[in-house]
Amino acid sequence: MAAALLLAAAPVSAQDMVYSDAGTLACLAAAASTSAKAECAGVSALACMEDSPGGTSTMGNVECLDSEVTFWDDILAGLRAQAMEKARATDEAARTDGLGQSFMVETLTGLETAWQGYSDARCAFERAQYRDGTGGGPAELRCVLRTMGEHAAYLQDMWISQ
């Protein structure tokens, strides 16, 4: 019996986690609107929590959520690069066509800086609601995923795809 209790209390290791980006990718492929795309953030982490031994523990939540945060970091890096390329081209076209000065690069840079500050503050606030409790880490990471999903959908649909 003591061995069973020790196994139940054993920490979750990253090797035990069953994480795949497939759920989020399928959700994004099926999403027909900006809001539907934003709601895909967290789909793979939730599947990981459900499919992994210990995935519903605080440590399991953190491992699964952090895995999906890495996925969204990569998505956002690609979208930011595409958006900046389009902003540069827009600024250059305005100068070349004699339409005056365009400030797309400058304003996109400001948007990204402001978004990061907003995301950090919003998610710190969500973590603070747990005071020193163990739920603060998972709450903060869920918030990070939500803000990343929202921002990625915004960049894709409101700027890059236009």
Instruction: Tell me the CA distances in angstroms from 19 to 12, 24, 32, 51, 53, one per residue in order.
Output: 13, 11, 25, 8, 11
pLDDT confidence tier of residue 86, bands split at 50, 70 and 90: very high
pLDDT tens column, 8-66: 444 555 668 999 999 999 999 999 999 999 999 999 999 999 999 999 999 999 999 99
The per-residue DSSP string of 102-120 comes to --HHHHHHHHHHHHHHHHH
pLDDT confidence tier of residue 162, bands split at 50, 70 and 90: confident
Q: What number of CA atoms fall less than 13 Å from residue 58's CA on the CB side?
A: 9
Residues 101 and 117: their CA atoms lie apart, in Å, by 28
Q: What per-residue confidence (pLDDT) applies to 101?
A: 78
Residues 7 and 160: their CA atoms lie apart, in Å, by 49
Q: What per-residue confidence (pLDDT) applies to 6?
A: 36
pLDDT tens column, 99-127: 777 899 999 999 999 999 999 999 999 99
Least trusted range by pLDDT, from 76-80, 81-85, 102-106: 102-106
**Amino acid code (one letter) for 4:** A
